[in-house]
A and B are shown apart, each in its own frame.
Chain A
Amino acid sequence: MTRWTFMVTHRSEIWSATLDHIALVLIAMSIAIVIAVPLGMIIVQHPALRTFSLGLASVFQTIPSLALFGFLIPIPFIGGIGPRTAIVALVLYALLPILRNTYVGLTSIDPAVLEAAEAMGMTNTQILTRVRLPLALGIILAGIRTATVITIGVATIAAAIGAGGLGTFIFRGVAMVSDAVILAGAIPAALLAILADVFLALIERRLRVL
């Protein structure tokens, strides 16, 4: 069996693993965005919370992904074997790029613009929603893009704790010492990452205001 015939003969299995993979990434990214973007807005106003949350998010990033999956398994409610644990780990990984870019985007705005906004009699909420957020949108999206690409890669490791996805082939291939099987997981994962990157870059360009 050559390298490529495996992919052809197992195409429906690969396709369903790809869909599982996309589902893992989409769920994890949605949760990470819902946590990190508002948190980024909050830490603009609260310096104490800023150091803590950016620090904590950085710590998650430094834990090797396989170890993080392992650590989570024994924890009650979020742990165990399966996609739920994997999603928790993926969320923890995706937090930092989104959180940091949200914070940087919101704080790197021309001070003269913010001074004018305040002097025009805009309330803090209006300054946030009509000035800071629109101007930070491009940078926030760049963070989401980085996080998505990372998550697609890390999600392959989620197969190690029984979460399914394209990593299943990679781990199976490693066990079987078969390039063909490894590539059946690795190539679709790489393509997904590239497609996501290009697609999000397009959105970013459309929404960037300047």
Chain B
Amino acid sequence: MVLLGRSGSGKTTLLRLINRMLAPSNGQVVVEGKSTVDWDAIRLRRHIGYVIQEAGLFPHFTVAENVGLVPKLEKWDSARIAERTDELLRVVGLDAKEFAQRRPAQLSGGQRQRVGVARALGADPSILLMDEPFGALDPVTRSELQHEFSELARRLGKTIVFVTHDLREALLLASRIVLLQNGRIVASARPQEFLRVDHPEVKAFGATLHTVSGALA
């Protein structure tokens, strides 16, 4: 599922409610049949993968240590962590031999983001939250990662909540697009039908697909 909306529309807030980085002031958020306020926040978060823009990798950890973080917090033994780390790096298309011992500063933006995804998958969470994960990448790298990720998402079969303000990205990745405006859901549709929804905010986003050329000579 993709949460779409302008800046300040409440996408990130909604995302953070799911892993209880925020607690609802009203109503409840239910994860796996249990309200998030009834979950132990730490347990809940280790159970949910989280990927953010610029990845937020730990600069003092190697790639392997970043990816193995949640398994390590969960006290897996080191052989199992090493095995899992290799596996996850393969999943996100990075060669473990080449990258495992590097530090985040020695990676390109796209590679960092791949490591961010691998880290989020660490302890095999059933839910993956992604907050504009490809937002800071150059357009070519972004497009490559979007296509690869769309493949990966299909293979993983996890519940993925993906935040973006880019309609193209939403149309490419979503099984369902939920459009937020001022903290409210104003539209929710499958990508094939999304552009036909009759709402001014949908029209506003639809207009971003048409490019105007020639303004700069």
Contact = CB atoms under 8 A, between A and B. Distances in A.
Given A112-B52, A112-B54, A135-B59, A119 B21 contact: yes
Contacts of A134: 60
Contact of B50 (A116, A126, A131, A210): A116
B60 A120 contact: no
Interface in A110-142: 110, 112-113, 115-123, 126, 131, 134-135
A209 interface: yes
Interface residues of A, number: 18
B93 interface: no
A144 B54 CA distance: 32
Given A112-B53, A119-B19, A122-B73, A209 B45 contact: no
B43 interface: yes
Contacts of A115: 21, 52, 56
B69 interface: yes
B58 A116 contact: yes
Main secondary structure of the interface of A (DSSP, over half): helix
B119 A210 contact: no
Interface string A79-97: 0000000000000000000
Contact of A121 (B46, B53, B54, B55): B46
Nearest to B72: A130
B70 A121 contact: yes
B59 A121 contact: no
**B21, B44, B69: residue with the most chain A Cβ atoms closer than 10 Å:** B69
B79 interface: no
Interface of A: 110, 112-113, 115-123, 126, 131, 134-135, 209-210
Interface of B: 19, 21, 41-47, 50, 52-60, 69-70, 73, 105, 119, 122, 129
Given A122-B42, A131-B58, 8 more contacts: A112-B53, A112-B56, A113-B59, A116-B50, A116-B58, A118-B21, A119-B19, A120-B119
